[in-house]
Amino acid sequence: MKVMLIAHTPEPERVVAAAAKLCYSNAHLDDLLEGLTPEKSREFLSKLASLGHESPTEHASFTFAIEGVSRALLAQITRHRIASYSVQSQRYVRLDQFEYITPPEVARDEQAREAFDAAMAEEAENYRRIAELLKDGHIRRLMQEGADEKTAARKAEKMAIEDARFVLPNACSTKMIVTMNARSLNNFFRHRCCQRAQWEIRELAGVLRDSPCTVCAQRPAVCIRRMPGGFNELRTCRRDAEEICFSQRRRNGLSGRLIVLEGLDGSGKATQAGLLYEALCGRGEQAMKITFPNYESDSSALVKMYLGGAFGQDVNDVNAYAASSFYSVDRYASYKTLWGCFYHDGGTVIADRYTTSNAVHQCSKLPREEWDAYLAWLFDFEYRKIAIPEPDTVVYLDVDPKVSQRLMSQRYHGDEEKKDIHEKNMEYLQHSRQAGQYCAKALGWKRVACTEGGRMRAKEDIHKDVLALIAKR
């Protein structure tokens, strides 16, 4: 597969910003572009994003040259109707020895690959034979009608391949030129970067997203990565483990499952999440993993301030309900922008921390007799009022705080100042463990003992225990 971005609207961000400026100000046409610096243009794009106003992005368009894709892909991409397509014609281009696209699953199976290649060779021979037979017949007829041999041969060639092409397979390689405006391109990414999209068009979407621009070679793909991304903070699925589906479609009645790995800091949640992801993918599940707090998002700002000590150096300086709300907002933002659609479309989401972390860490601030009331408030607030999904399975990685402290010190190379206000407070961690064990028992969480004899168990052994607790779909 080869893709080139061969043309685009000059200064696409500025053009869209000008359209937005016209919509929201009384600027005259002569003054429309005045003051639209790159920084000011991006401000307009951010405003559009906050308003959900997409139509100004239609004023920027992008043209790609694409080759080495199948006719099966052509049938899919042309469903995106607000676009222009020019495709290599099978009516005018003879394909005796056509190139073809081999699906990865076929390529990985030796017997399947042999059968596939044989089928392609047979279809190529059928195409050649039918074309020759038809051509000979057309030549005879045209010459009988008075055409000279050269003219008859030229006309017969086109007439023959026009009918012979009907035997060409979907795997047959083709070329095309595609033009889309930014809004249509954004829509294309939303649907085709999705992990549920067919493999070839998903690969094409990734290549389109990252293709170097032949117009502005010094700024690779600025008009793709920055323009739609700057407008909508577009998060597309990539083919690695942590990418998600941005598709805004939800299938009625279809939902995935949410698996949460919970535990104290240093309990190995991230490690076990990664191992579980690999195992579930190995089973054939569509899976992704997420982490809380989402420090890459602005939604975690209050969490960062809290953990950094901005509201007080002691964990009890911020009450359980206030601290919980910081984390809840971050989870809500993550659900709405990152993984919600993937989950509702049937995917398996593996979460390193979740609402369960509030249950563990904020309960510990409260007297024991208030735990049940707090948990009732917490789950009502997150699962019903702000309506993020409730986990299907929670696995609590139970670790001795003394061991986790030692592991965290190793993580920070002995620099205790790098620890947050939770990690520094041993008494708080002890209380959190007690709260975690209580929640695991009261709420039906699955518990895995991670320490033995004052040491951490091997991650492989812990993984086996975790995997045994995760039912197959």
Closest CA to 365 of 292, 313, 432: 432
What tokens were used for 410? 């190793």
Alpha carbons 427 and 408: distance in angstroms, whole number? 16
Decide if 186 contacts 61 (C-beta within 8 A).
no
Alpha carbons 172 and 187: distance in angstroms, whole number? 27
- Cβ-based neighbours of 167, under 8 Å, separated by 6 or more: 123, 126, 127, 130
**Is residue 285 classed as helix, strand or coil in its secondary structure?**
coil
Alpha carbons 70 and 1: distance in angstroms, whole number? 10
Alpha carbons 327 and 295: distance in angstroms, whole number? 11
Over the range 197-211, which residues count as b (16 or more CB within 10 Å of their CB) and which as e?
beebbbbbbbebbeb
Over the range 424-435, which residues count as b (16 or more CB within 10 Å of their CB) and which as e?
bbeebbebbbbb
- Concatenate the DSSP letters of all residues of 311-324 into one string: T-SSGGGS-HHHHH
Alpha carbons 298 and 220: distance in angstroms, whole number? 26
Alpha carbons 346 and 389: distance in angstroms, whole number? 13
Alpha carbons 19 and 429: distance in angstroms, whole number? 54
First CA to last CA distance, the chain: 35
* Whether residue 165 lies in the annotated active site: no
Alpha carbons 117 and 166: distance in angstroms, whole number? 19
Q: Which residue has the tokens 């394909």?
A: 95
Report in angstroms the alpha-carbon separations of 361 from 156, 176, 326, 434, 458: 80, 56, 13, 10, 25
Alpha carbons 291 and 298: distance in angstroms, whole number? 15
Report in angstroms the alpha-carbon separations of 392 from 256, 261, 444, 471: 9, 11, 11, 10
Which residue among the candidates 14, 165, 190, 192 is catalytic per the annotation? 192
Alpha carbons 255 and 276: distance in angstroms, whole number? 20
Alpha carbons 388 and 344: distance in angstroms, whole number? 11
Active site residues: 192
